Amino acid sequence: LHRERANVHWISEDADNSELTITVEHSTDQDGPFELIHEATYSNGENSFSWDLSSIPNYKTNYLRFICKDDANETIFTSEAFVINVKKGFYSSTQVEHISGESTASIELIVADTSLINNDTYEITFNKENETKKYSVRNLNTDQIVIDNLELIEGMSSPTFEGLRLNIVDTEMDIDYNQTHFNREELEPTYNVFFSESNADYIGNPHVKSALDWIVVFNDLDTNSDGSWKNVGDSALFVPSMQEGECPFRIIDVDNNEKANYLIDETRNLDLANKKWDFEEWIIFRPQGATDATVSYALNFNFSSGIIPGAGDTLYIITYNPIDSNDVYHFTADDSYIVSVKDEAITPKEFELYQNYPNPFNPSTTIKYSIPDVGKEHAPFVQLVVYDILGRGVATLVNKQQKPGNYEVTFDASVNRRITSGVYIYRIQAGEFVKSRKMILLK
C-alpha cells in the first residue's frame, strides 16, 4: 500500500441472509495485539471501506483481522502479510543535518502528502529508557511537538506528520565494514578486523565493543640486517612479555586525536616473540584509557600475495555509533523533494554496484546494480560473485549477458550451511567495469 488511503474490500455471506457486524483490526504482528480500525454492520455480498493510513507507520509486515458476527456466531479471519509504504516522494540524505552527537544512524525523510509541505524546520531528539529508544519531532517554526516520544522500532517509520514520515535506521556499535578501507584498493584483501566476545579467539578479558575510529599509518617495511625495522613508527606493549616493542606503523585514535591504546599479541606463535611486530602478529585494540585486560577489536594482516603497504599507506578503521540522548537532527521540509519514480523506467547513465540492503543481514540480502547503454552492438556479459574474506568464491549470483537497465538479485546465505557469520565481498564485472563492496552476515 503506497497511498494515504486504501480501499479494503471483502465478501461476506450469512446463511440466514442476516446483516453481519464486520470488525476490522490491524497489527504489524500476526499474533497481535490488534487495534480497531473499522466496525460497522453490512448486508451480504461485496463491501468495502476507505482506510486512512496517515496514522499507520510504514512497515514490512502488516495484517488485517476480520471478525464477522451475527446474533449466534462469530468467524475470525486474518489476512496474509502485506507491506505499507506510503511514499509520494523523498528528500536527499543531505536534507537532514546532524546538529550534535556521534551517531552514524541514517534518517530517511519521506513525503507522504505533497499538499502539506510547509517549508518549516523540524528538530529530532532522542531519549533512552533502559534498552528502549524513543524519539520526538518538534516543528521549530510553530514550536509544536508533532511526534511525541515514539518508540524507535527497526524498519518502522513514523506516522504521517504535516505531510512527512521519518524512517530512522539505527546502528549497532561495531566495525563499519563499508567505510573501513585502505587508501589503496589493492591492499583491501590484506587485512581483517573483527570483534569476538570469546576470549578463546584472542587475548584479553572482557571483550567490549568501542565506538572509536582509528587510522593505521605505515612506514616503509624495510629491515636492518638484524631484522629490526629501519623505520619505526611507534612503540606498543607486547603480550606475553608485557614489554614495549617496535612497530613500523603508528596507530591514531581519531576521535581523541592521540596515540591509540593497543597491544601486539605474540602468544599465537611464541617463536616470533621478539618484541618486534611481525606480519603474522595480531594487533588488539583497547578502549582508550583502559589499563586492565579489557580489549576491543582484533586486526590481522595477510601479505602472502606479496602486496604490502608502503610509506604513507593508511588503513582507516571506522565504527558504527548507535543513537543516544545526545543526538539532535534538523531538517527543513522545502520543495526540494524528489517525486518517487519506478527505477525500471529509467535507463541508467553509468555502471553502478550499490550497497546491499539490509546490511548486516540474516539470512538474505538484496544487491542492486545498474547497466547503462554503452552503445555497443552486444550487451555486456555480467558476473556478480560473492567471496569470503580470503577471496574464495562462495556464490555466483549472475553469470550472463544483460541489457541496459536496473537489476537486483538476492543473496540467500541459508542455502549453504558452510557460509558462516563474517565479512563477505561481492564483486561485479560487466564488460570493463569492475567494482567490489563489503557486506556482513550475522547468524
User: Which three-class secondary structure string do you get for 161-172?
Assistant: ECCEEEEEECCC
Check residue 342 and give its pLDDT. 46
Cα 6 to Cα 39, 55, 86, distances in angstroms:
16, 13, 10
| pLDDT over threshold 60, residue 343 | no
Within 362-433, residue ranges assigned H as helices are none
Grid coordinates in use for 254? 581519531
* Secondary structure of residue 381 in the 3-state scheme: strand
| Closest-CA residue to 87 (of 57, 127, 126, 121) | 57
CA 253 from centroid of its chain's CA atoms: 24
94, 100, 105, 109: CA torsion to nearest 10? -40
Question: How far is 298 from 27, CA to CA, in rounded Å?
Answer: 43
Q: Where are the beta strands (DSSP E) in 28-87?
A: 35-42, 45-52, 59-69, 74-78, 82-84
Tell if the pTM clears 0.85, that is, is over it: no
366 pLDDT higher than 70: yes
Cell of 68: 464477522
Q: What does each C-alpha distance from 49 to 11, 79, 139, 275, 386 come to in angstroms?
A: 12, 16, 33, 76, 47
- Per residue in 397-415, pLDDT tens? 998 888 888 899 999 998 8
- Average pLDDT of the chain is 90
| Long-range residue pairs from 230-234, CB within 8 A, at least 24 positions apart, any chain | 231/311, 234/259
Res. 345: pLDDT tops 50: no
pLDDT value, residue 101: 93
Please report which confidence band the pLDDT of residue 385 belongs to, taking 50, 70 and 90 as the band edges. Answer: very high
Cell digits for 377? 552492438
Could you tell me how far CA 165 lies from the centroid of its own chain? 19
Pick the closest to residue 85 from 171, 146, 165 (CA basis).
Answer: 165
Please state whether the peptide bond connecting residue 404 to the residue before it is cis, i.e. omega within 30 degrees of 0: no
Query: Over 70: is that where the pLDDT of 201 sits?
Result: yes
Contacts of 92 by beta carbon, 8 Å cutoff, 6+ apart: 336, 338
Q: Which amino acid is at 308?
A: I
Domains of the chain, CATH where assigned: 5-84 (2.60.40), 89-171+323-338 (no CATH), 175-320 (no CATH), 343-441 (2.60.40.1930)
CA distance 17 to 327: 59
State the pLDDT at residue 2.
Answer: 67
Which of 198-212, 277-291, 366-380, 386-400 shows the lowest per-residue confidence on average (mean pLDDT)?
366-380
Pairing label, strands 234-239, 262-265: parallel
Quote the cell numbers at residue 390.
Answer: 580470503
> Smallest Cα–Cα separation from 262: which of 184, 202, 322, 219?
202
CB atoms near residue 438 (< 10 Å): 19
What is the mean pLDDT of the segment spanning 323-350? 78
Q: Check whether 246 has a pLDDT greater than 80.
A: yes
What mean pLDDT is predicted for residues 313-322? 94
Cα distance between residue 142 and residue 120, in whole Å: 8
What backbone torsions phi and psi does residue 411 show, to the nearest 5 degrees?
-105, 115
* Mean pLDDT of the 65-81 span: 92
Among 132-136, 143-147, 376-380, 428-432, name the one with the lowest average pLDDT: 376-380
Res 158: pLDDT: 96
Q: Which three cell numbers stand for residue 239?
A: 603480550
Cell of 285: 585494540
